[in-house]
């Protein structure tokens, strides 16, 4: 009898092939996570900047409707006010944006701003302007952005909280 030359073929993948696939998947996952973090940071910054812009627009409406140059604190700006003609303001209360008196941090939501009223050094009771600061989540390192301003913002600026 002749010997049969039977070659047995094993089925499956080698350990090297499996390791290559795992490494490729790991690299793709790392790229995705880094990209997602950057996109989220930019979206949060855009949202925070839009919220600060909303407060600035509301400030302009307040000053126009009240026919005044007296800057309000944030608690006044959040509520509905009476115009200089004695009628109710055309815009409702501001409920989705909050202000804090302390410095902003990356843990703050984009709906949190810092609202600072600025006064002259000679007379701290005379409010000359307002700074509206939002957090820039996409900056490196993340930090408070350049504030949006209205009026004269040199001198002594003090943060206002919600109340």
CA distance 26 to 3: 48
Which of 8 and 94 is assigned the larger pLDDT? 94
Bridge-based pairing of strands 143-144 and 135-136 is: antiparallel
Find tokens 């979206």 and name the residue.
43
**Whether pTM exceeds 0.85:** no
Ranges of beta strands (E only) in 29-126 are 98-99, 112-119
List pLDDT tens digits, range 12-55. Answer: 889 999 999 999 999 999 998 888 878 988 999 999 999 999 99
Q: Which helix (H) or strand (E) holds 121?
A: none
């Amino acid at each position: 009898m002749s010997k049969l030359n039977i070659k047995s073929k094993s089925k499956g993948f080698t350990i090297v092939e499996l390791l290559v696939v795992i490494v490729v998947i790991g690299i793709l996952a790392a790229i995705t996570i880094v990209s997602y973090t950057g996109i989220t940071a930019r979206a949060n910054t855009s949202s925070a900047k839009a919220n600060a812009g909303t407060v600035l627009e509301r400030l302009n409406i307040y000053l126009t409707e009240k026919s005044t140059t007296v800057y309000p604190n944030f608690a006044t700006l959040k509520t509905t006010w009476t115009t200089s003609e004695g009628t109710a303001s055309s815009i409702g209360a501001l409920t989705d944006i909050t202000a804090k008196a302390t410095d902003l941090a990356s843990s703050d939501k984009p709906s949190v701003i810092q609202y600072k009223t600025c006064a002259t050094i000679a007379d701290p009771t005379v409010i000359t302007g307002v700074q509206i600061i939002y957090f820039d989540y996409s900056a490196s390192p993340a930090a408070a952005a350049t504030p949006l301003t209205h009026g004269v913002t040199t001198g002594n600026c003090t943060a206002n909280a919600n109340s």
